[in-house]
Amino acid sequence: INPDIAEERRNAKFDPVELTYVIDGGKEKTERRRYLESEVLNDPSFDDPMDISFMTDEQRHTNSVRKAIQVVRRTQELEISNPMELIWFRAATNPLEVPSLSLHTSMFMTTIVNQMTLEQRSQWESAAKKFELIGTYAQTELGHGTFLRGLETTATYDPRTQEFEIHSPTLTSMKWWPGNLGKTVTHAIVAAQLYTKGHCMGVHMFMVPLRSLETHLPHPGVELGDIGPKFGYSNIDNGFLRFNHYRIPRENMCMRHSQVMPDGTYVPPPHKKVSYGSMLPIRSAIVGNTGWALAKGCIIATRYSVVRRQSELIPGTKEAKILDYQSQQLKIIPNIATSFAFILTGKEMMKTYFDSLAEMNEGNFSSLPELHATSAGLKAFTSAVVASGLEELRMSCGGHGYSKASGFPELYTTAVPATTYEGENTVMFLQTARYLMKV
Amino acid sequence: ARQVGSGNKLVGCAAYLQSNLSPRCLAKRQTDFLRQDILVDAYKHRAKSVVMLAAKRMGEEIKKGHSQPVAWNNCHMYLIKAAMAHCHLYCVESFFDGVNSTDASQPAVDALMSLCQLYAIFGISQNKGDLLQDGYINGEQIDMLERQLIDLLAIIRPIAVTLVDSYDIPDKMLSSVLGRYDGNVYENLYEWAKKAPLNKKEVPAAYKYIGPFLKE
């Protein structure tokens, strides 16, 4: 142990594990998390063949999918089904990257559970849980993002064959960005404008098979590909998707809240925003996740700042630990405080989400507007603060913060997409403002 | 804002819009800025005032004859500020609630409370213009608040490493040479660099350009 960092720990007035228990929600949870992490960290099958900083994007994609599949196998063997425990396990397998197949277990599964009828769930939920298919969530289009009503993909009902014809009528209507869409998934929940009896009924969700389960080739009428290298997320094949009059059965429309009857009659949802529901758990989860990203940055900057010595604080003495300079404290300590604030706020947000979900499952949608507004605003607020916080922490490490050895480049580029995905931040703030103006 | 105007009772996270808040910050000395009630009231005041200001500006735009969407667009600056202030208040309250509900030892709770106070004070310092603008807080109080911020930095500095240790993230999951638990940074930066792909060969592929160029 470096003597400077050892000295810091000797000064502590409390055992850090006490705060670990606060963060995790109790000693039992900490012990369970540590056990699950140890299952990953001591399993060589989860080791990367080399430092991911030294890999090409294709090597990273292949390695990431390999690990994601190994996660499925191991979590089934260990009979882990608790959502939080699955998150802990996956996080341990991908320290710096967003895990592959994460949209399968989040938005794809959430949509199946929350937006399909019990009959539909019996067909899709089990298959998705057993990974007999791999899914993603395809909403964003090349020319359209957060504004759902602007989406152009169409799903036109044909009562003669009782099928929907999914079509991309323009270049800008191509689905663009969904994680693992390009080369990995076999199915997608697709957001499309529903047309029946000649009328547009707005955006609805459809379960769409994209690739053959035998050959992995795209079905006729489906064009798929990777959108190319990005600022970060190098291990993920964010994809594009174009439909050419592609047909799916009527039963593939998510029909829990609104329905199209065999003759084409449309039955509207009880609440106009229920179809937005898939975004809510992700936005709610982003709040806590941003806190954890900032926490990692704080660990790196704080530990380095007691090892790094620079200049004489008092002339004629040894070079000082850089954390002893007030200017360095101002860069780091408010970020430590912020990370704790966001981790605790994230816990509160998830509790609010699950309480509201329970109410909505009983037909009470009264909390939906507040949940929608709060999750949107907090997602934007926390992700924006963390983006600037991580940059400040990187700079607090001087030149070494710019090296990939510091962890900051991967940490930053994995955290900052939260400012634009699941709703661009300014649009999210304006959604919160709309709610505040109403109340 | 519309419901406040119509006298409807508000519930949930926006209920503060209807509460009777003090028109002035009640802090009289520096340490008053460690009080939860003083800090949370400041955030409530800020959120309420910027939300109501946004609503007022919207009303003025409508009175000018603009349609609702045009008025909305003309008020983005106020509206985004309102949303940010609302979310900031939510985070401050959640942090205090989290600290108040812990049953850790007193030194651990004290450490967490210092962090929470610093989070709240730092946020006010960063957004003091909102509170100075309507006279809620004055320059003397801002000076006291920022002195308290500096005092808190000095309290937290000696326990900073222990605080970040409490995140309990193992080295393998942190994946950072700079953030190693053992602090052995420099020797491991050197080891890491030696593994870089460009170091696999002593003479790089680019020598096919370097060699002839040097002989030109």
C-alpha A151, offset from chain centre: 21
Question: Of all helices (H) and strands (E), which one includes residue A321?
Answer: none
CB contact under 8 A, A5 and B176: no
Average pLDDT of B73-80? 96
- Helices (DSSP H) in A42-155: which residue ranges? 57-77, 83-93, 102-103, 109-115, 118-129
A343, A288 Cβ separation under 8 angstroms: yes
A321, A309 Cβ separation under 8 angstroms: yes
* Minimal CA separation from A52 to chain B, in Å: 10
- Which pLDDT does position A228 carry in this prediction? 97
For B3, which residue in chain A has the nearest alpha carbon?
A439
Average pLDDT of B159-175? 97
- Which pLDDT does position A409 carry in this prediction? 97
For B164, which residue in chain A has the nearest alpha carbon?
A299
Distance CA(A378)–CA(A284), nearest Å, equals 8
Q: What is the interface pTM, i.e. ipTM, of the complex?
A: 0.90
Q: Look-up: residue for tokens 């000797």?
A: A10
Minimum-distance CB partner of A436 among B14, B97, B183: B14
Distance CA(B100)–CA(B103), nearest Å, equals 8
Over its length of 439 residues, how does chain A's per-residue pLDDT go in tens digits? 999 999 999 989 899 999 999 999 999 999 999 999 999 999 999 999 999 999 999 999 999 999 999 999 999 999 998 888 998 999 999 988 999 999 998 889 989 998 999 999 999 999 999 999 999 999 999 999 878 899 999 999 999 999 999 999 999 999 999 999 999 999 999 999 999 999 999 999 999 999 999 999 999 999 999 999 999 999 999 999 999 999 999 999 999 999 999 999 999 987 665 555 556 777 778 899 999 999 999 999 999 999 999 999 999 999 999 999 999 999 999 999 999 999 999 999 988 888 888 888 788 888 888 888 999 999 999 999 999 999 999 999 999 999 999 999 999 999 999 999 888 999 999 999 999 999 9
CB contacts, 8 Å: A8 with chain B? 158, 160-162
Average pLDDT of B113-134? 97
* Minimal CA separation from A248 to chain B, in Å: 38
Interface probe for B, chosen from A336, A352, A374 (most Cβ of B below 10 Å), is A336
Number of A to B CB contacts under 8 A, please give it. 287
* Minimal CA separation from B127 to chain A, in Å: 14
CB contacts, 8 Å: A380 with chain B? 83, 87
* Tokens read off for A388: 């600037």
CB contact under 8 A, B182 and A338: no
Minimum-distance CB partner of B118 among A302, A333, A339: A333
- Which pLDDT does position B79 carry in this prediction? 97
Distance CA(A13)–CA(A383), nearest Å, equals 32
Distance CA(A216)–CA(A65), nearest Å, equals 15
CB contact under 8 A, B55 and A437: yes
Distance CA(A37)–CA(B71), nearest Å, equals 52
CB contact under 8 A, A16 and B102: no
For A432, which residue in chain B has the nearest alpha carbon?
B83
Minimum-distance CB partner of B168 among A6, A20, A410: A20
| One-letter amino acid for residue B129 of the chain | G
- Could you tell me which residue, A297 or B8, shows the higher pLDDT? A297
CB contact under 8 A, B176 and A300: yes
CB contact under 8 A, A430 and B2: no
A100, A134 Cβ separation under 8 angstroms: no
- What is the bridge-based pairing of β-strands A187-196 and A154-158? parallel
For B78, which residue in chain A has the nearest alpha carbon?
A433
